[in-house]
Amino acid sequence: MTESLEALRGYVHFLHEREGVREVSLSRTAQQGLAKLAGSATEGSRRAPRDGAASGGPDNSLSGRAERAGGRPVVGAASIPAPTVARSAMTATTTPTGAGPAPATLVNEPPFEISGSTKVEQLRHLAERASICVKCPHLAARRHTVVFGVGDPDAKLMFVGEAPGEEEDLQGEPFVGRAGQLLTKMILAMGLTREQVYIANIVKCRPDMPAGASGNRKPTKQEMDTCVPYLRAQIDVIKPTAMVALGATAVEGLLGPVGTIGSLRGKFLEYRGTPLMPTYHPSYLLRNQSNTEKRKVWEDLLKVMEKLEMPITDKQRGFFLAK
């Protein structure tokens, strides 16, 4: 909890000093999440009060810091202890500008504690935790939503991408832009629906772009290292039988720099005991629409279907073959 509080304080300081934000209000959802965490923090403080509070030392609470910053609260309901605050749950009076600092590299971060008696509850709690995460302040300051994941908690098959793009950031769901629409067609061609699989990304926030720039960028190694524990926890909850890594960045986020996607695709790797099939990202097929390239991806998916012991028709086996 101490580490989480420091993350929040650091983010408030970042917004005030680097972004020019003077006041931030929390949505009702965020306030409810913070209120739950407040109980844990209050109970912990009864057992082990901080030195400053016990000795009448300087007020290092969020409200105290806000007052020293100019006599006006920087964060609404700041007296509620919380691990993090999300840009997606805020309305700021000033539009952030400029680049933020890179997140600190996390070394041997312990796995998340997963609470809840069902997979649905466990994923919901993880999503709530992710929704107020600010470990990458520059991403949290600019995102519209945290794009956690979507699909069946009991899915046998899980697709992993790299990070949300503009459309995903606006809608809060992974793979809903042009590449996502193509992924949906690929899933349907397998005889499945989006509701029967699970789709998530290595990074849950859209990587920020320089002022005035358009498009999307690849997440940095630090951003992936910082965010991938959320994905690990999702995988631990869902326990898919097989996974598909969409593109080189997704493979790197899961396994590190193990090779090019061209050399890796078509062969099963393993991620923490789960078979992992690397293949091209759907955006690659949007740029390279020949049947030859489509067939490569389809052959990868056929191998996944075989791994899952799914029925495969002759028609499916013949997709994108020269006639």
Distance CA 176, CA 167 (A): 7
Per-residue exposure over 47-69, b if at least 16 CB sit within 10 Å of its own CB, e if not: eeeeeeeeeeeeeebbeebbeee
Is 70 exceeded by the pLDDT of residue 17?
Answer: no
Residue 236 main-chain phi, psi, to 5 deg: -65, -35
**Per-residue pLDDT tens digits for 272-310:** 999 999 999 999 999 999 999 999 999 999 999 999 999
**Per-residue pLDDT tens digits for 114-125:** 889 999 999 999
**Res 133: pLDDT:** 95
**Segment of 34-48, 184-198, 200-214 carrying the highest mean pLDDT:** 184-198
Least trusted range by pLDDT, from 56-60, 146-150, 176-180, 201-205: 56-60
**Res 167: pLDDT:** 94
**Res 145: pLDDT:** 96
33/286: higher pLDDT: 286
- Under 8 Å between Cβ of 52 and 131: no
85: left (phi over 0), alpha (psi -120 to 50) or beta: beta
Mean pLDDT to the nearest integer, 139-152: 96
Residue 184 main-chain phi, psi, to 5 deg: -60, -40
To the nearest whole percent, how much of the chain has pLDDT over 90? 61
Distance CA 184, CA 86 (A): 29
102: left (phi over 0), alpha (psi -120 to 50) or beta: beta
Residue 24 main-chain phi, psi, to 5 deg: -135, 135
Mean pLDDT to the nearest integer, 82-97: 33
- Under 8 Å between Cβ of 103 and 23: no
Average pLDDT, the chain: 77
Whether the full predicted model's pTM is greater than 0.85, yes or no, is no
Is 90 exceeded by the pLDDT of residue 155?
Answer: yes
285/9: higher pLDDT: 285
Over its C-alpha atoms, the chain yields an Rg (Å, rounded) of 22
**Per-residue pLDDT tens digits for 100-113:** 344 433 334 556 78
Is 60 exceeded by the pLDDT of residue 178?
Answer: yes
**Residues ≥6 apart with Cβ < 8 Å to 202:** 160, 161, 162, 163, 219, 224, 227, 228, 231, 249, 250, 253, 254
Is 50 exceeded by the pLDDT of residue 236?
Answer: yes
Residue 20: which pLDDT band, with cuts at 50, 70 and 90? low
Least trusted range by pLDDT, from 44-58, 124-138, 145-159, 203-217: 44-58
**Res 6: pLDDT:** 47
